[in-house]
Chains A and B, each alone.
Chain A
Amino acid sequence: MRALSYRDKDTVIHALSPLAKLAWGGGLLVLSLIFNHPVYILILFLSIILMVKLAGVGREWASTLKFALWLGLSIIVINALFSYHGDHVLLTAPFRLPVVGQPVITLEAIAFGAVMALKLAVIISVFTLINLTIHPDDIMAVLLKMRLPYKSVLVTSLSTRFVPCLVEDMGRISDGYRTRGVQLDAGGWFRKLRNRAKITLALLSNSLDRAVQVAEAMEARAFGNGKKRVFYKDINISKMDAVTLGVGLLPLAAGIIVRVLGYGDYQYYPNLTAIQFGGWEWVMPAVMLLLLAAIVPLAFLKRRVDLD
């Protein structure tokens, strides 16, 4: 779990302003939702690979991608099994189900599932990249800069900080249970559920104890004493940061225009539309790719300015 948390690294991506990274990542999330076209989704995914590579977090990203892969596979399988739209039937079940009729597996349902899985991989990768390359306190500072209330931001930050502790607690409590003679995965589903419920209750109780201790420690250090809070490590936005922020937002702005112009959509049912590569059909994805990658030369430039 701790392997997936932020670590300081000397890379151009780590040195980028957190605001720019959040804008870029947030833009990517929105784009992955508004585009349906496989080529556009693939471009989003490629741009993530580029950033991951430059940030030197390939190994950590790969481990979350493994999780995304399993989730993606299940999306493909479920969609193929339960979505009977599409004209190209690959397999027909030899039985009928009530209400839905005779199950069929179509090429279109598989293709749709595959693109949804790729979208999911993009979304998970964005969160992983943000998590691995932005200091959690910087995320907090950015949220505060956006004038979100301090107490809410602090609570969110504290909850994420204690996730690794929760995972460790869970391991220890399960071990405690096993050493008392309980086989956690034995027996019927009711017994398993009961065992898990006991562990969850113990976990909850530990977390409440921890919450009281943290609150006590905060109170003892003048938390909430009514004075206007100062932020020692406030995020200062230099001109360079403002430019990278602007460039970070470009893909989102361009993507919205592209969608409004009618590009980036794709029909999966009843037949897969042929992918066109003529005229603007070709230019638009290329522009998107360029805009998504535009943050990279700026990141190198920023580092040079920082070093100077």
Chain B
Amino acid sequence: MIKIRELKFTYNGAEKPALHKINLTIEDGQFVLITGASGGGKSTLCRCFNGLVPHFYGGRISGKAEVQGLDILEHPPRELATKVGMVFQDPENQLVTTDVEREIAFGLENLGYPKNLIARRIEEALDTVGIARLRFARNNELSGGEMQKVAIASVLALHPEVLVLDEPTSELDPQSAEEVLRLLERLNDELGLTVILIEQRLDRVVHLVDRMLVMGGGEIIADGSPGEVMNGDSEGLGIGLPPVIRLMRELKSHNAALNGLPLTVKDARLRLQKVLQSVKTADFADAGESLKPILNMDKVWFSYGERAVLRNINLDIERGGFIAVMGRNASGKTTLVKQLNGLLKPSKGRVRLDGVDTRKSTVAELSRQVGYVFQNPNDHLFADTVEDEIAFSLRNRGADESEITKAVEGMLNEFELTHYRHSYPRNLSGGEKQRVALASVLVGEPEVIVLDEPTRGMDYVLKKKLVSYLDDYRRRGNTVIMVSHDVETIAECAERVVLLSEGRVVVEGSKREVLSKALLFSPQINRLAQALSGYGVADTTLTVDEMIEQIG
């Protein structure tokens, strides 16, 4: 059992406490989800469970926290390791050794266990997590999902009673994320392990957990079953509800026969089938006629050494369009978009920007027309202050100082960064860094903006703002190209979708053509619409608003 009373913690040098008056009891065997806006204290609270806060980070702490009967103030993480296992966000940076077997043995070796016991624990851990085939694999050759499973196995080998995971799926593709979450469900169900999980994507987890905590401003601002918490004021809590839940909340306000909240598509389908009476016929048209392409890829091949990563790509990207690029990990998505600003040049074929071959220009020259936002904001940040970071591109191209000041002020306001204008960008929180990175690219007003997985690990509020900004940006005649796994966001904002597999374009078309009736890439609402098509619901429905238009 975890018992926390009046816990307050402030990091060294910080003005405000990261945790404030936390009172929490977690019974053994519970599956607890912790969510909320970034900077709300989720990670800090989780690091209290195994004593990393305060022992590793230092700071001022008051109150009481007991984990499985041990006071965290008296027991450092190395002593709590057999009680609480912790898995972190970045799959690569938590692996210490070079291969899977040694990785699992690492903690057991530290505890000085006899070799025969270590051997037994390794076997158990490999089987429990289902990675026996990876036993002798080298860590740097594993996929992100496999690395996370190895990290889980390496803490399970210590036989902890509580497993804490800090956004373990945020860097994984949907399939790997699903596998990791199913594993957690099994560990909780079958082994009775207490699982505490931080996660932003509620649609992935709400149906798995017993309890949901929402954190904001260093406090627990909501606590209850997922149904109870999501029935309340979700906007006020700063959490993004899964589409089926948003739909049902909306419908419930007009239909008294609906009660409770469905946590899965199946649940929603069963509830709706009981009450569905009239359906208004709707025909969701795709965007109008095609406009002139701004970017054209003509028979593009690209290879790293002898390995072909892009194979014969033919693609026109229209001016003013919003294109999403989807596909499994390593399907060539990032390689494809890197061709658009010249970061990579085709091995064969041509990429033309406004009719001009990109081979004739440098990346720096192309950057005036094509902005590129990397997955990791750290790859963007070089300057000493946020203000300088945003001004960097304009200053680099020799813009007038008054023009720079005006543009920077605009961006600081737009991305709510005014307060941090003099801060060192790399000292900001993850969400804030992401905003600085976006502002630093968008300030140059490129005609095309390429974003590589911009919503990964983003909290709901920030994601909502980004989507609205990009939509506005596109309406001003610019083109948006977004690599993403986030089907729900794509269903909301994209116009066209390109689906890649093994370096080839498998499907390319309007989002409705690609996302509806698909098995893996359909948004929740479309999966619901497909099941309700017998009642007259259009099976091309993609969003909550479209569904309400028909059955609301």
Q: Are A206 and B378 in contact (CB under 8 A)?
A: yes
Rank and list the top 7 A-B pairs by shortest CB-CB distance, nearest first.
A221-B107, A225-B78, A217-B94, A227-B112, A222-B81, A176-B379, A213-B93
Interface status of A34 (Cβ within 8 A of chain B): no
Known A-B contacts A137-B102, A219-B52, A224-B78; A230 and B113 likewise in contact (beta carbons under 8 Å): yes
Known A-B contacts A158-B96, A181-B393, A225-B81; A220 and B380 likewise in contact (beta carbons under 8 Å): no
The distance from the CB of B387 to the nearest CB of chain A, in whole angstroms, is 15
Q: Are A179 and B110 in contact (CB under 8 A)?
A: no
> In the complex, A7→B155 CA distance in Å?
26
Q: Mark B53-83, 1 if CB is under 8 A from A, else 0.
A: 0011000000000000000000011110110
Which residues A219-258 have CB closer than 8 A to chain B? Answer: 219-233
CB contacts (< 8 Å) of B95 on chain A: these are 217
Q: Are A161 and B88 in contact (CB under 8 A)?
A: no
Q: Are B112 and A230 in contact (CB under 8 A)?
A: yes
Having A221-B155, A223-B106, A230-B108, one finds 19 other A-B pairs with CB under 8 Å, namely A7-B138, A137-B102, A165-B92, A176-B382, A179-B367, A179-B441, A180-B380, A181-B444, A182-B364, A183-B364, A202-B378, A205-B426, A217-B86, A218-B106, A219-B56, A225-B81, A230-B113, A230-B114, A232-B115
Interface status of B98 (Cβ within 8 A of chain A): yes
CB contacts (< 8 Å) of B86 on chain A: these are 217, 220
Interface status of A201 (Cβ within 8 A of chain B): yes
Q: Mark B135-176, 1 if CB is under 8 A from A, else 0.
A: 010101000000000010011001000000000000000000
Interface status of B356 (Cβ within 8 A of chain A): no
Interface status of A39 (Cβ within 8 A of chain B): no
Q: Which of B109, B119, B362, B380 contacts A176 (CB 8 A)?
A: B380
Q: Which of A158, A164, A181, A222 contacts B367 (CB 8 A)?
A: A181
24 A-B pairs in the complex with CB atoms less than 8 angstroms apart: A5-B140, A135-B98, A175-B338, A178-B367, A179-B341, A179-B363, A179-B371, A181-B397, A182-B396, A202-B378, A205-B378, A214-B96, A216-B88, A216-B94, A217-B96, A219-B77, A220-B85, A221-B96, A222-B79, A222-B158, A223-B106, A223-B110, A224-B78, A232-B105
Interface status of B545 (Cβ within 8 A of chain A): no
> In the complex, A2→B155 CA distance in Å?
27
Which residues A265-304 have CB closer than 8 A to chain B? Answer: none
Known A-B contacts A202-B382, A232-B118; A180 and B441 likewise in contact (beta carbons under 8 Å): yes
> In the complex, A227→B158 CA distance in Å?
15
For A231, give the chain B residue with the smallest CB separation. Answer: B109
Q: Which of A182, A201, A216, A230 contacts B109 (CB 8 A)?
A: A230
Q: Are A164 and B110 in contact (CB under 8 A)?
A: no
> In the complex, A2→B368 CA distance in Å?
34
Interface size of B by Cβ–Cβ distance < 8 Å?
Answer: 70
> In the complex, A75→B94 CA distance in Å?
42
CB contacts (< 8 Å) of B106 on chain A: these are 218, 221, 223
Known A-B contacts A180-B367, A181-B397; A201 and B382 likewise in contact (beta carbons under 8 Å): yes
Interface status of A209 (Cβ within 8 A of chain B): yes
For B395, give the chain A residue with the smallest CB separation. Answer: A181
Residues of B within 8 A of A (CB): 50, 52, 55-56, 76-79, 81-82, 85-86, 88, 90, 92-99, 101-102, 105-115, 118-119, 122, 136, 138, 140, 151, 154-155, 158, 338, 341, 343, 362-364, 367-368, 371-372, 374, 376, 378-382, 392-393, 396-397, 426, 440-441, 444
Which residues A175-225 have CB closer than 8 A to chain B? Answer: 175-183, 186, 198-199, 201-202, 205-206, 209-210, 213-225
CB contacts (< 8 Å) of B96 on chain A: these are 158, 214, 217-218, 221
CB contacts (< 8 Å) of A221 on chain B: these are 81, 96, 106-107, 110, 154-155, 158
The distance from the CB of B112 to the nearest CB of chain A, in whole angstroms, is 4
> In the complex, A180→B381 CA distance in Å?
10
Q: Are A178 and B79 in contact (CB under 8 A)?
A: no
Q: Are B105 and A233 in contact (CB under 8 A)?
A: yes
Known A-B contacts A222-B82, A222-B158, A229-B112; A216 and B107 likewise in contact (beta carbons under 8 Å): no
Q: Are B78 and A222 in contact (CB under 8 A)?
A: yes
Q: Are B140 and A2 in contact (CB under 8 A)?
A: yes
> In the complex, A233→B136 CA distance in Å?
13
Q: Are B56 and A217 in contact (CB under 8 A)?
A: no
Q: Are A227 and B110 in contact (CB under 8 A)?
A: yes
Q: Are A172 and B78 in contact (CB under 8 A)?
A: no
For B394, give the chain A residue with the smallest CB separation. Answer: A181
CB contacts (< 8 Å) of B158 on chain A: these are 221-222
Interface status of A306 (Cβ within 8 A of chain B): no
For B79, give the chain A residue with the smallest CB separation. Answer: A225
Residues of A within 8 A of B (CB): 2, 5-8, 135-137, 157-158, 161, 164-165, 172-173, 175-183, 186, 198-199, 201-202, 205-206, 209-210, 213-233
Q: Which of B97, B379, B392, B444 contacts A172 (CB 8 A)?
A: B379
Q: Are B343 and A179 in contact (CB under 8 A)?
A: yes
Q: Are A216 and B52 in contact (CB under 8 A)?
A: yes
For B381, give the chain A residue with the smallest CB separation. Answer: A202
Q: Are A223 and B78 in contact (CB under 8 A)?
A: yes
The distance from the CB of B38 to the nearest CB of chain A, in whole angstroms, is 16
> In the complex, A5→B139 CA distance in Å?
12
CB contacts (< 8 Å) of B55 on chain A: these are 219
For B86, give the chain A residue with the smallest CB separation. Answer: A220
> In the complex, A226→B110 CA distance in Å?
8
Q: Which of B98, B107, B368 contacts A137 (CB 8 A)?
A: B98
Known A-B contacts A182-B364, A225-B78, A227-B111; A220 and B343 likewise in contact (beta carbons under 8 Å): no
Known A-B contacts A137-B99, A205-B378, A222-B81; A178 and B364 likewise in contact (beta carbons under 8 Å): yes
> In the complex, A228→B109 CA distance in Å?
9
Q: Are B378 and A181 in contact (CB under 8 A)?
A: no
The distance from the CB of A214 to the nearest CB of chain B, in whole angstroms, is 6
CB contacts (< 8 Å) of B88 on chain A: these are 213, 216-217
CB contacts (< 8 Å) of A199 on chain B: these are 382
Q: Are B94 and A214 in contact (CB under 8 A)?
A: yes
The distance from the CB of B32 to the nearest CB of chain A, in whole angstroms, is 18
> In the complex, A182→B378 CA distance in Å?
17
CB contacts (< 8 Å) of A232 on chain B: these are 102, 105, 108-109, 115, 118-119, 122
Q: Are B392 and A180 in contact (CB under 8 A)?
A: yes
Q: Are B111 and A220 in contact (CB under 8 A)?
A: no
The distance from the CB of B376 to the nearest CB of chain A, in whole angstroms, is 7
For B82, give the chain A residue with the smallest CB separation. Answer: A222
> In the complex, A230→B77 CA distance in Å?
19
Q: Are A220 and B341 in contact (CB under 8 A)?
A: no
> In the complex, A178→B362 CA distance in Å?
9
CB contacts (< 8 Å) of B364 on chain A: these are 178, 181-183, 186
Q: Are B367 and A209 in contact (CB under 8 A)?
A: no
> In the complex, A199→B380 CA distance in Å?
10
